[in-house]
């Protein structure tokens, strides 16, 4: 019961945040309510930045260490984008980044590439970071979630946001340099497909939690197979009550991938997996 109320409170807070972003336009126009004309289904960069801030304070657990208690530098108090340039120029820098966006991503997945002076693990002389790689369990942020956090870190000090909005074009995280030009591999099962398209950035599904969209853990109980399919191929067709209309389309999702995801979601009935 309390969990339900907490979830409700969370959604209401989110509605307030997103409502202010997404509903300004039609209200300002004040004309006939032709909502269809306003592209409410598009995820805007403002939505994405807001999502990044939520992840920063929530699932990412960043504020657990990055706060004013001295455990880690408080990223909210300095321009981490301009500081990135100094880090990369420092002789102690071990990473590969050539720009601030890459430095920030690297900081999350390979924290020891640069260790801020005085913040290293005890006894390592600032060569090893105590920060966990946040793309690994237990935090396990997806590539899209890390992009959202980077967008937030860039925008908070008025820097241009350089990350791209999530879309069906998102290749699965191809980390080895060679795969860059090859088309994204077809997901072989539902888990891979959910990861490939970043669904967990907005939905609680499998091991991930996100309050941005409805939980998918019991979606099979709430929606028919056809409704689930429509929700994915045409997110604007029907907006789940109480949620912001920000789910993107996935034009590059192969039919086989769609079928895997729909089949998987239809089986999610809220019971433990
Ligand atoms: C367990 C504690 C902990 C958590 C959780 C944590 N960090 Fe860190 N982080 C640190 C410490 C300590 C440093 C400084 C040492 C270093 O440079 O690695 C740091 C450094 C950084 C830096 C480099 C800052 C600079 O000035 O160069 C960035 C960027 C960063 N963290 C982002 C994040 C983000 C984003 C999250 C959440 C997704 C996060 N961290 C979660 C402890 C943490
Ligand atoms: C940027 C955030 C975002 C991403 C990414 C996203 N969704 Fe959504 N999704 C939402 C939101 C918000 C809603 C509720 C509003 C609506 O119905 O459009 C939603 C609704 C849904 C629904 C209907 C749920 C219900 O209870 O009515 C399904 C099913 C769904 N999404 C599946 C997916 C799948 C599968 C993916 C990945 C391929 C995905 N979503 C990616 C935000 C997102």
Measured from the Cα of 87, ligand 1's closest atom is 27
pLDDT of the chain, 273 residues: tens digit per residue: 445 445 545 554 454 444 444 444 444 444 444 333 333 356 889 989 999 998 999 889 999 899 998 999 999 999 999 999 999 999 999 999 999 999 999 999 999 999 999 999 999 999 999 999 999 888 888 898 999 999 999 999 999 999 998 765 544 444 444 444 456 789 999 999 999 899 998 899 998 888 889 999 999 999 999 999 999 999 988 889 888 888 888 888 899 999 999 999 999 998 865
Closest residue to atom 29 of ligand 2, CA basis: 228
Alpha carbon dihedral 42, 46, 49, 55, in 10-degree steps, equals -70
Same topology for domains 41-155 and 189-266, yes or no?
A: yes
- Cα gap 230→247, rounded to integer Å: 12
CATH H-level, domain 41-155: superfamily: Cytochrome c-like domain (1.10.760.10)
Task: Sketch the domain layout of the chain as residue ranges.
Answer: 1-38, 41-155, 189-266
Cβ(205)–Cβ(217) below 8 Å: yes
- Cα gap 135→138, rounded to integer Å: 9
| 66 bridge partner residues | 72
Taking the CA of 205 as reference, the closest ligand is 2
Ligand 1 pocket, residues with Cβ under 6 angstroms: 60-62, 64-66, 72-73, 75, 80, 83, 87, 104, 107-108, 111, 114-116, 119, 129-132, 134, 149
- Cα gap 33→35, rounded to integer Å: 6
**Contacts within 8 Å (CB) and 24+ apart, 5-10:** 7/211, 10/211
The verdict on the CB of residue 48 being under 6 Å from ligand 2 is: no
The verdict on the CB of residue 38 being under 6 Å from ligand 2 is: no
* Vertex 58 angle, CA 54 and 63, to 5°: 100
Cα within 13 Å of Cα(115), Cβ side? 16
Closest residue to atom 5 of ligand 2, CA basis: 199
Mutate to test the pocket of ligand 1, among 84, 94, 111 (most ligand atoms within 8 A of CB): 111
Residue ranges of the alpha helices (H) in the chain? 2-22, 24-29, 45-57, 62-65, 80-89, 100-109, 143-155, 190-196, 219-222, 225-233, 255-266
The verdict on the CB of residue 198 being under 6 Å from ligand 2 is: yes
Q: Which residues contact 266 (CB under 8 A, 6 or more apart)?
A: 219, 220, 225, 228
Closest residue to atom 8 of ligand 2, CA basis: 247
CATH code linked to domain 189-266: 1.10.760.10
Token match 């969370």: residue? 10
Cβ(217)–Cβ(204) below 8 Å: yes
The verdict on the CB of residue 217 being under 6 Å from ligand 2 is: no
Count CB neighbours of 106 within 10 A.
Answer: 20
User: What distance lies between CA 57 and its chain's CA centroid?
Assistant: 12
Give the number of residues written for the chain.
273
The pTM is what? 0.56
The verdict on the CB of residue 220 being under 6 Å from ligand 2 is: no
- From ligand 2's centre to the CA of 6, what distance in Å? 20
């Amino acid at each position: 019961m309390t969990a339900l109320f907490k979830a409700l409170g969370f959604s209401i807070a989110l509605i307030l945040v997103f409502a202010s972003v997404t509903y300004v336009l039609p209200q300002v126009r004040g004309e006939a309510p032709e909502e269809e004309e306003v592209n409410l289904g598009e995820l805007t960069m403002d939505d994405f930045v807001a999502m990044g801030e939520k992840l920063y304070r929530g699932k990412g657990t960043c504020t657990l260490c990055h706060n004013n208690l001295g455990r880690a530098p408080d990223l909210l108090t300095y321009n981490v984008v301009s500081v990135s340039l100094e880090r990369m120029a420092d002789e102690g820098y071990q990473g590969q980044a050539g720009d601030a966006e890459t430095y920030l991503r690297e900081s999350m997945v390979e924290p020891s590439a640069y260790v801020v002076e005085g913040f290293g693990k005890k006894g390592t002389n600032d060569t090893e970071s105590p920060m966990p790689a946040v793309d690994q369990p237990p935090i396990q942020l997806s590539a899209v979630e890390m992009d959202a956090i980077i967008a937030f870190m860039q925008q908070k000090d008025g820097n241009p946001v350089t990350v791209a909005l999530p879309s069906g074009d998102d290749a699965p995280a191809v980390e080895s340099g060679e795969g860059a030009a090859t088309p994204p591999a077809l997901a072989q099962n539902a888990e891979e497909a959910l990861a490939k398209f970043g669904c967990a950035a907005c939905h609680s599904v499998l091991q991930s939690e996100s309050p941005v969209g409805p939980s998918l853990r019991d979606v099979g109980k709430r929606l028919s197979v056809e409704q689930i399919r429509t929700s994915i191929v045409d997110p604007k067709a029907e907006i789940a009550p109480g949620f912001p209309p920000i789910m993107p389309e996935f034009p590059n999702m192969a039919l086989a991938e769609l079928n895997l995801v729909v089949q998987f979601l239809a089986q999610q009935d809220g019971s433990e997996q």
